[in-house]
Structure 1
């Protein structure tokens, strides 16, 4: 495991703290924050005409999760699919959309698209480091149309560290735990009269909870994330108040992750084992971002927020693709399993593919807010470009009887000889949204327009130098997406709400015959809030005219199918979302409780064939894979004067891993499970805190997913202890 220089970021932080100290305290101005969020304030969430949830910094600190998927289970209508146990590459879906690489939801950081190539290649092999986020917002339903391109499921917006209002403020947080887990999180910054800044460093790592058969190699990761912001603002008395903020971010990851799961029998024997054929599997990534925000306020009624952004992401997932000439889903995993049990003096041929890809995402967006007496108008525009450059190769190894892998004499592959293409997109998006207050009614009407050009330039596997004219495919898409929602205020505590919108997702590049993914989505419900009790219940119905399935390696697609897109035709998804919480007093203790529940039914309405291992050959009436019918989460806490403890109980129903109906076959099932997490905080002083956290308190052994037909285990019981100092 790479354990060297764990505390090196602390030295970097210390060297910069002196440069960001300020002597003057600035007046509170929250407009810059509000323009980077969906809601702006907790009160605004109550007025949203649809499912809307804000996970505040206080809520995030309860369990101190670094895995966004554990965080999001508190939001109804959200489905997560574990893979590595640490949330390095989250699989998130909403309201029945697929979870694979979060490709069916819109993911943003500070109101900017966060996927490496959200139009050309939406599968999010990069995801912002959730452990450094200050706030997480989830929006589903009618209002999500402002935040395309994918508007059927919903939107996740993560708010990064904001510049403190104080002259100087910051925090130092260090955590250590089982399986070599360690985390360092530090930030410092402050606000002056006209110049403000913040610097943040976040590093976490683990040796991993799996053991590779016949090997002492680790299965963990190291991830670094560094963020800096500088903001300049005009004088408070200026006729047109302005702010200009520069944000730069760098992150990298080195993780020993694989797609090779276990056979059912091996999983039953030891769910935390890994086959020796996967010993070289490794993901290496680098992400760089520049974001520039400009805000101008005009006479109290007009605000204009303009953002320019540039994201550069590179990754190479070097992972086993074939064993003895067989792909993982067609006998390769079984061959690896048999070899580890008894090599019998033989050797094994192992192909390791370098899935090398470079991504660029850049754009310019602006939003004009106009506040009139009864109308709140938003006009928005975004011009966006992105691309994915695939330049892949395969290396051939021999796994010997002593379980060591040796590169064959002619085994080194030529870069570009396996996949060699560029997928790109250009998109112009325009929207208008009007929130009209009419007595106790609030009417929200919106219209979004997307004009998208998608292209693929493919040099094939024999032109690594890209010296010849590539095969070229191009398709264009333009679509109008209306939405309408109404809320009715019954009284100060109860609101009724309902809405309808057109959902959309663009086709993939290179699929000239692919149709848009389009749906009509309905929701109806109520929201209740008073000082101690809050609750929300919504029914939803998504009526797909056409649903997409995107072929990726994680979907079990073979080399020639990766990048293809399948049209499922008509699909129906319907369900119920419930969220409620209550705070009551027990002696001198505060007892907060919270409940989240989701019920979902899905159905394909067509017969069709696909190469996705999660769909396969679909018959009308089949259910979608990886969508549990029932999800339930309950949390309860005890809060004292200088301490608090919280317990979280999470239940997930059984899931089918391939489309089907009726009873689920054993080899296509993920069993139901209940997992319990525990966290306790104790304040040593007003600015010092100790945290004890236990994930999977009762050490539940469970299968999280079937990748290539093999089982992957969820994270076992993991204890950690942290110390936090604030100033």
Structure 2
């Protein structure tokens, strides 16, 4: 597509939206002198509380502050396993780099869902490189919101499966703070400390999260397999009579001895927590720095305006063995030479350890207008966004001699290891929540995405020659509609349909088309002594795609770009049930979530060798979570969290073969938490993760069998002041 035409179209759309917003603001200007409402711009909530979640014209879930506190949550994977419709593929046992899928959006390094922190896209480069090699520190979050169905068109760019919004600690109304401490096996230590408050028109928050562990894996002839994480947050706020400003700055760094190299099945059976000496050099170093400035104006009782500017920078160097999968695959088939190299008993030459060195940057400005007109609650706005990735990845060459790794040379980066990728995007949306009658609420949404992406790849380390180039443009209109209907004072019906979109990323070529889908949902809710919800979903893909990387090789083996697998259908059923049972001075909260999913190729793809009925990769058929509690008047509360995930295909079509290496194993894990309140301000707790020490192959990616976290005990203190 002609770039000048694209730029003109974007400029015209931006001017049209800006003119509309300006006209709306001017129309209310006469009311300003009479209005004295305060408008505090704070964390962006998709929904205010659980009651709103249970009345939305779309399916949603809220991982509340209470759940964070009860479970002393520090692993986003374990939290989201309690949300229906989510699929988690574990990798390191600590949730450092999650693989989260939602309904039709598969879990490829969480690149198919929209990740946000306080309403700002938080993936390293959301359009050109959305794979979540950075993820916010879960333990410093106040809550997590998950939104599915047609209402998610308000957010983007990933609009197929769902949105995950991490809500950070809010500025407290009065001077106060929190101190949370935990110490556990394998040298695990967690600290969360914050202090903040409001003085007149000004407010502030200072917060830090510190995490470390020696790791639960044992490296042959190596060191610890743990991590050290530091995370710092500052918020400054000013609130006037009808306007406010919030400045937020965050910085974090991580050093983790993580690897892509897994185990053979035989070695996994002997010791799930083993790591080969070949991975002893592997280490991730990264840092993230983000700033945002949000301005809010309460124009009138019925009109508010918010403008958010943001920038995020992320740099990483994951130094690790490349190509270890060839040894694991060969050893799995009985190759004694490959097994000996893994064991360290045979010499090997020319082993490549790559500096997976990348710098990411994303920036943008977003404008939102919320306007209530009679029975209509309108939300419309636009976002201009840019992001980029600079990949410069030299390879250090080692020889394994007598079990020791000796440096023998370096290969300077060219080709795929030396490239620049970027994307520019313009988004616009309008959402109308229309209360047609006292029983019927209709939600109409329209989103527009216009994305230009490009890649420059260099054939020399110094980038002095002309690079090879590729580019892609996608422009999509994404409509959606949903409704809720009150069947009675206890029963509610809901349904919706929307068009989903997933951009291809910076490596896409001009002839490739972005992933699109039509997504349906319908269900019922019951609110009484129990809350019950049943929602069926159906996603029909014209061109299902996979995002390829070393962490998540595509079904064709590619580790870069995108792979189109063809037409597919992902359908299923989500069930929820919750209540609080009372027994005298004791209460027992119960929360159950279950998801059934059928994910298949829906039409033969002769070119790629897929046939109708082939099961898609990384989507479990059954997932279940059960949260049980026993709360007493003696200040002693106890909880159990039970989570089950079915086996999954590693590549497409594992249902049509008996190869055990093409699938993971199912897993049932139980966590126990016991809490005792010393006072209104202090609680001590004991946590037993995976109390029955159930172990399984939860992933075969990137390179071999990988385990879940073993049984781990920890104690801690939560103190408010």
Normalization by structure 2: what TM-score? 0.91
Query: Which whole-Å deviations, capped at 9, do the CAs of 1:448-505 have from their partners, x for residues lacking one?
Result: 0111111111113xx2111222222222111100000011012332211000100011
Query: Which whole-Å deviations, capped at 9, do the CAs of 1:356-401 have from their partners, x for residues lacking one?
Result: 1000010000110001220100011000000111111111011221
**Alpha-carbon separation, structure 1, partners of 2:482 and 2:704:** 44
* Pairing 1:473–2:502 present: no
**Alpha-carbon separation, structure 2, partners of 1:414 and 1:670:** 36
The counterpart of 1:56, out of the listed 58, 64, 83, is 64
What is the SS of the residue equivalent to 1:423? strand
Instruction: Indicate if the aligned counterparts of 2:39 and 2:239 stay in contact, CA closer than 8 A.
Output: no
Which residue of 1 is the match for residue 18 of structure 2? none
| Cα distance change, pair 85–298 in 1 and its aligned pair in 2 (3 A) | same
Query: Which whole-Å deviations, capped at 9, do the CAs of 1:621-645 have from their partners, x for residues lacking one?
Result: 2001221111111111001131211
**Alpha-carbon separation, structure 2, partners of 1:342 and 1:389:** 35
* Pairing 1:638–2:630 present: yes
What is the SS of the residue equivalent to 2:136? coil
* Pairing 1:570–2:567 present: yes
Which residue of 2 is the match for residue 19 of structure 1? none
Alignment gaps of 5+ in structure 1 = 1-26, 611-615
- How far the C-alpha of 1:350 sits from its partner, in A, is 2.0
Q: Which stretch shows the higher mean deviation, 574-583 or 620-629?
A: 620-629
The counterpart of 2:108, out of the listed 81, 100, 109, is 100
What is the SS of the residue equivalent to 1:145? helix
Which residue of 1 is the match for residue 647 of structure 2? 654
- How far the C-alpha of 1:518 sits from its partner, in A, is 0.5
Give the length in aligned residue pairs: 679
Query: Which whole-Å deviations, capped at 9, do the CAs of 1:275-307 have from their partners, x for residues lacking one?
Result: 111110111100000000111001211101110
Which residue of 2 is the match for residue 459 of structure 1? 458
Coordinate RMSD, CA, aligned:
2.1
**Alpha-carbon separation, structure 2, partners of 1:667 and 1:617:** 19
The counterpart of 1:493, out of the listed 490, 494, 505, is 490
Instruction: Indicate if the aligned counterparts of 1:96 and 1:627 stay in contact, CA closer than 8 A.
Output: no
Which residue of 2 is the match for residue 715 of structure 1? 709
**Alpha-carbon separation, structure 2, partners of 1:416 and 1:160:** 40
* Pairing 1:529–2:527 present: yes
Which residue of 2 is the match for residue 274 of structure 1? 275
* Pairing 1:40–2:43 present: no
* Pairing 1:263–2:270 present: no
Instruction: Indicate if the aligned counterparts of 2:422 and 2:455 stay in contact, CA closer than 8 A.
Output: yes
| Cα distance change, pair 353–600 in 1 and its aligned pair in 2 (3 A) | same
**Alpha-carbon separation, structure 1, partners of 2:385 and 2:61:** 27
Alignment of 1:491-570 (within 5 A): 491-510=488-507, 511-530=509-528, 532-556=529-553, 561-570=558-567
**Alpha-carbon separation, structure 1, partners of 2:40 and 2:576:** 29
Which residue of 2 is the match for residue 133 of structure 1? 141
Alignment of 1:110-509 (within 5 A): 110-166=118-174, 168-215=175-222, 217-234=223-240, 238=241, 241-322=242-323, 327=326, 331=330, 337-341=339-343, 343=345, 346-401=347-402, 403-408=403-408, 411-414=409-412, 419-439=417-437, 440-460=439-459, 463-509=460-506
| Cα distance change, pair 330–651 in 1 and its aligned pair in 2 (3 A) | closer
Which residue of 2 is the match for residue 11 of structure 1? none
- How far the C-alpha of 1:30 sits from its partner, in A, is 7.9
**Alpha-carbon separation, structure 2, partners of 1:145 and 1:545:** 19
What is the SS of the residue equivalent to 2:678? strand
Instruction: Indicate if the aligned counterparts of 1:277 and 1:336 stay in contact, CA closer than 8 A.
Output: no
Q: Which stretch shows the higher mean deviation, 178-187 or 623-632?
A: 623-632
What is the SS of the residue equivalent to 1:710? coil
- How far the C-alpha of 1:110 sits from its partner, in A, is 0.3
- How far the C-alpha of 1:558 sits from its partner, in A, is 12
Which residue of 2 is the match for residue 10 of structure 1? none
Instruction: Indicate if the aligned counterparts of 1:453 and 1:476 stay in contact, CA closer than 8 A.
Output: yes
What is the SS of the residue equivalent to 2:73? coil
**Alpha-carbon separation, structure 2, partners of 1:453 and 1:679:** 49
Alignment gaps of 5+ in structure 2 = 1-35
Query: Which whole-Å deviations, capped at 9, do the CAs of 1:544-588 have from their partners, x for residues lacking one?
Result: 111111210012369994322111221001100011101011231
- How far the C-alpha of 1:508 sits from its partner, in A, is 2.5
The counterpart of 1:70, out of the listed 75, 78, 88, is 78
